[in-house]
Chains A and B, each alone.
Chain A
């Protein structure tokens, strides 16, 4: 379109386009991520309290929380609901452990047609693999440093 005919100069046209094109509004994204992420953590706290009220110690209750949230997210992924939540929630559904679970189940389903070994087995850790490599790798580093400090003191 010849925008000079619309009585606009370059700068005005730029503003016009910016107004028309869909904005990834960072403030809005952050508010939604905040609410959904916070909400998932509150569900976690409810499960944690349930565990501790039923005789689990803090560590076991925390493990129960992780397992439950992983299960819920796997179920929602299987029902194709987690992707819908993710479209709105952004980081609010990626950063919690439910996002980790989703990152395992989603490729596992997607590559199912390639068989149960090289399809599901190889692809379920496509994203979770790097998470484990860097998570466990850095924890070993922390352990080593801690051990050395203990040794020296």
Chain B
């Protein structure tokens, strides 16, 4: 039962964050690129202010899987590293924490591009 409630919270949190994105798309005509930039920056700032942690505590992956969670990962990483290493952590903490995601995106992106055929008709 606990696990079901947890999954429900994840679903609600993740769904609501996407609804915010959808409202932005419908109301402001922001392009997907701008939406992604907006969410990652919002994630970093809200984490810096200590607000996003509450959302993560409640919603689990519902808060960390949206791209704002990538911002959360960067910001928590930088804060932890500053505590451990001091000023140098300002420069190393963020990417260190997000390294897995960035590396995965690069290598999978590259490999799938190599094996895929470009679809001329589907060019955006």
Contact = CB atoms under 8 A, between A and B. Distances in A.
Contact of B108 (A70, A131, A138, A145): A70
Interface in A80-125: 80, 83, 90-92, 94-97, 99-101, 103-106, 108-113, 116, 120, 124
A142 B51 CA distance: 13
B66 A42 contact: no
B35 to A, nearest CB: 6
Given A80-B122, A139-B78, A67 B100 contact: yes
Interface residues of A, number: 77
B34 to A, nearest CB: 8
Contacts, number: 281
A112 B100 CA distance: 25
Contacts of B114: 112, 116, 120
Given A80-B122, A127-B36, A34 B112 contact: no
A136 interface: yes
A139 B17 contact: no
B61 interface: yes
A65 B71 CA distance: 15
B36 A103 contact: yes
Contact of B91 (A26, A65, A69, A140): A140
Contact of B7 (A45, A75, A131): A45
A139 B61 contact: no
B105 to A, nearest CB: 5
Interface of A: 24, 26, 29-30, 33-42, 44-45, 48-49, 59, 62-67, 69-71, 74-75, 77-78, 80, 83, 90-92, 94-97, 99-101, 103-106, 108-113, 116, 120, 124, 126-128, 130-132, 134-136, 138-147, 150
Given A97-B70, A138-B44, A139-B74, 4 more contacts: A26-B26, A94-B21, A138-B75, A150-B83
9 contacts: A41-B14, A45-B60, A78-B115, A105-B113, A124-B106, A130-B33, A135-B43, A138-B71, A141-B48
